[in-house]
Structures are given as structure tokens and as C-alpha cells.
Structure 1
């Protein structure tokens, strides 16, 4: 993959647990890692249903291999791209060659 294709900025967030002053438990999203990525549509071309244009629901982000990216866990992380949140479905280390990591995601409902 060419470096020039890494032309979009994404933010990976980590879900953390907290306890407030009353003892209530909750979770919140904190910024974990920001990087450049190549975006690819996993669910085919955008569709038009009843005159409404639908964005692709499944999308893949390919990023460069790094130590921070190795810690991405689909249960604890999500991707933010263009102010839209994406649930991570799979993290593919591309045969463990140490070059690229492909993160397949599904758009979270608004």
C-alpha cells in the first residue's frame, strides 16, 4: 500500500469505566490514538431507498502498524471518522507482517 493513500484522519477511542461521587458506575469514551488511514467501503456502493440516500454501513480503515494500534480491542475501542462513530467488528493484522492493520467497522446508530 502506498503512503499517499493514507489521506483521511481517524480517531480511535477507548471506553473507560468510572464511579461518580454518589457511587454510580458508568462508562465514557476517551481519545486513545489518532492516525492517518485509507478508507474502503465494505458494504458496496451507497444505496437509494424511497428517494433517501444511504451512506455505507460497513467501512474499513487501513492504518500503519504501530505499538498503539496493536492494543486495539473490538470490545473496548471504537473509531470516529467525520464526526460519526463506528463500532469495530474485526482487527486484521494483515498476516502479521508488521506493515498494515485493517479495522473493519459498522456505523453506530445515531
Structure 2
């Protein structure tokens, strides 16, 4: 892939546990890494139910391999793209050649736990 293919900015989030003054624990998603990516649409999908349209679009983001993203886990990663939330379905390390990583995602309104 050429440099011009990486034309959109994405933010990768990882979970962090915060503890308040009295010891309550709370999960929070913190910005982990920001980079340029190439986007391809896997499956556009909109569902209707009770006069509400649900957008379950699946996108695939291709990013360059680097030391910071060499150990990603799909269960501990979220993506923000164009101010929309995407849950990670899977991560493909592209034949382990240490060149590209493909992140398969699904659009969501709220994060699941």
C-alpha cells in the first residue's frame, strides 16, 4: 500500500480502571494510539425496528505496523472514526510480516461491557 492510501485519522482506545476517593472502581476507555488508516467497508447494514433505524455497518481499518500496536487484543480495543464508535470484531496481522495490521470493526451506539 502506498502512503496516500492512509487518508483517514482514527483513534484507538484501551480500557483503564479508575478508582475514586472512596475506592469505587469504574471502567473508562482512554486514548491509546492515534494514526492514519485506510478504510474499507465490509458490510453496510441498517435494520429497522419499532420506527428506529439501527446502523450495524462493519468497517475494516488498515494501519501500519509499529511497536505500539504490535500486541493489540480485540477484546481490549475500541476505535473512534469520524466521531463514531466502533467495537473491534477481530484483528488480522496480515501474515505476520510486520508491515500492516487490519482491524475489523462493527459500528455501535453504546460500548458493550
Same fold per superposition (TM over 0.5): yes
CA distance in 1, matches of 2:68, 2:16: 17
The alignment partner of 1:42 has SS state of strand
CA distance in 2, matches of 1:104, 1:58: 7
What is the aligned partner in structure 1 of residue 100 from structure 2? 100
**Which ranges in structure 2 are unaligned for 5 or more consecutive residues?**
none
Indicate how the Cα distance of structure 1 residues 109 and 54 shifts in structure 2: closer, same or farther if over 3 A, else same.
Answer: closer
1:15 corresponding residue in structure 2: 15
* C-alpha displacement of 1:47: 5.7
Q: What's the Cα RMSD here?
A: 2.1
Structure 1 residue runs of 5 or longer lacking an equivalent are none
Aligned-pair distance for 1:69? 1.2
Residue in 1 aligned with 2:60? Answer: 60
How far the C-alpha of 1:109 sits from its partner, in A, is 2.0
TM-superposed deviation, 1:17: 0.8
**TM-score, scaled relative to structure 2:** 0.84
Please give the TM-score of this superposition, normalised by the length of structure 1. Answer: 0.86
